[in-house]
Amino acid sequence: MELSERKLKILNAVIDEYVRSAEPVGSKTIAEKSGLGLSSATIRNEFAELTEMGLLEQPHTSAGRVPSHLGYRVFVDNMVKNYQLSINEQQKINNMLTSRITEAEALIAEMGKSISGITQMTTVAIPPRHISNVVKRFEFVQSDRYSFLLVIITGGGSIKNKIFRSTVPISHEVLDAIAEILNRRFTNMDVEQISLPLIMSVQSELRGYDFILSPILTFIYDALNLVHKDEVYIEGQSNILDYPEFQTPDKLRDMFDAFKNNTGLKRLLEQTCDVEDDGVKVVIGSENPQAKMQDASMVISNYKVAGKNVGAIAVIGPTRMDYGKVAAQLEYITDALSKILSELYPQFGAERALAEHTDDTQGE
């Protein structure tokens, strides 16, 4: 939608004032505070035209104007990239980013808390794909002659475990042999490549122990099949209580339902992650395919390892959010997160380079 420079400035001024006050904005307020040098009468005329274009709305006849979802969209498309973080803002974020966590999933969860704290909004994140879904190792811990613990660790730090009990004594040597076979066969494999027949084929390498191998292998398949399928990290849900837009019982119920049944949120972040694109994506109000989220907006940014998207983090708040500031904060944080993950998982970059080289060679 093409707008004159004056209309864009007035729209910008209305949104800035509405973000600050959460109250309908009048022409007199814009005339006094915007610095545009326009009279109230001129601004009223522009208000009328912007309302007719669907960019502003008038809640009541005697009230001022508020931005519509379309108005926010025009604002975001034209102005969101203009916000620059100050040195103080960058330093504050850098202080929150100092973490000694070295496992990807715990790091993403911690980052979600940090972003929620910085923005005072709700954050949603999905764990890093490709890294998290790789089997790191299998370990057995023997309790006594008849029981032991199996621990499965993935690349992202996810841990699945179960205690097994046998009707006959199991030696430490047998458990070591099973662990050696499992680690040799499946370490560094993506869980999606590990099928039930592939797992059960381990039995051919260790005959005579089917009575304990069968339940172990069945558990491994079930555990790996569930890795991260429904994993979503949500932080700062209570922050929405601070915004007047969500004070009615119906709107609160819708938001908390969306957080609880978060399949739609996860799908939206996965779709964003699938697009190899830099920068942030903004989903405003009615643009959200989830009906219960259409009173809110989302700012989404991907994070990467070795230049490849592996996950995404979103900030959720009222449509009356400071889009430029939130987008700049989130992009700064996901850029920093990408650097941290690339340092933690240098092998991912090497594997990607090898795969690309192989593809190029095969194409010649």
Question: How many whole angstroms separate alpha carbon 20 and alpha carbon 12?
Answer: 12
Q: Helix or strand or coil: residue 85? A: coil
**Which CATH number applies to 84-130+232-358?**
3.30.450.40
The DSSP secondary structure of 128-152, one letter per residue, reads PTTTTTBEEEEEEEEEETTEEEEEE
Q: Say whether pLDDT at 355 is over 50.
A: no
The boundaries of every CATH 1.10.10.10 domain in the chain are 5-81
CA dihedral angle for residue 127, residue 347, residue 352, residue 155, rounded to 10 degrees: -30
The boundaries of every CATH 3.30.390.60 domain in the chain are 135-225
- The pLDDT of residue 359 is 44
Question: How many whole angstroms separate alpha carbon 357 and alpha carbon 359?
Answer: 5
Q: Say whether pLDDT at 23 is over 50.
A: yes
**Which overall architecture, per CATH, does domain 135-225 show?**
2-Layer Sandwich (3.30)
5-81 maps to CATH 3.40.50.2300: no
pLDDT band with cut points at 50, 70 and 90 for residue 54: very high
How distant, in Å, are the alpha carbons of 52, 54, 64, 70, 213 from that of 57?
9, 7, 9, 10, 67
Q: Which amino acid is at 287?
A: E
Q: What are phi and psi of 139, to 5 degrees?
A: -135, 145
Give the highest mean pLDDT range of 82-91, 216-225, 329-338.
Answer: 329-338
Least confident of 137-146, 297-306, 319-328, 340-349: 340-349
What does the pLDDT average to over 43-58? 94
Q: Say whether pLDDT at 121 is over 90.
A: yes
**From the CB of residue 162, how many other CB atoms can be counted at a distance below 10 Å?**
15
Strands 159-165 and 147-154: antiparallel
* Residue, of 102 and 164, whose pLDDT is higher: 164
Burial class (CB in 10 A: 0-12, 13-18, 19+), 249: exposed
The boundaries of every CATH 3.30.450.40 domain in the chain are 84-130+232-358
- The pLDDT of residue 43 is 93
Question: How many whole angstroms separate alpha carbon 197 and alpha carbon 337?
Answer: 38
User: What would the pLDDT profile of 208-226 be if each residue is shown by its tens digit?
Assistant: 777 788 889 888 888 877 6
- The pLDDT of residue 261 is 87
pLDDT band with cut points at 50, 70 and 90 for residue 160: confident
Q: Say whether pLDDT at 353 is over 60.
A: no
- The pLDDT of residue 70 is 95
| Nearest C-alpha neighbor of 68 from the set 320, 327, 292 | 320
Q: Which amino acid is at 202?
A: V
267: Cβ contacts below 8 Å, ≥ 6 apart: none
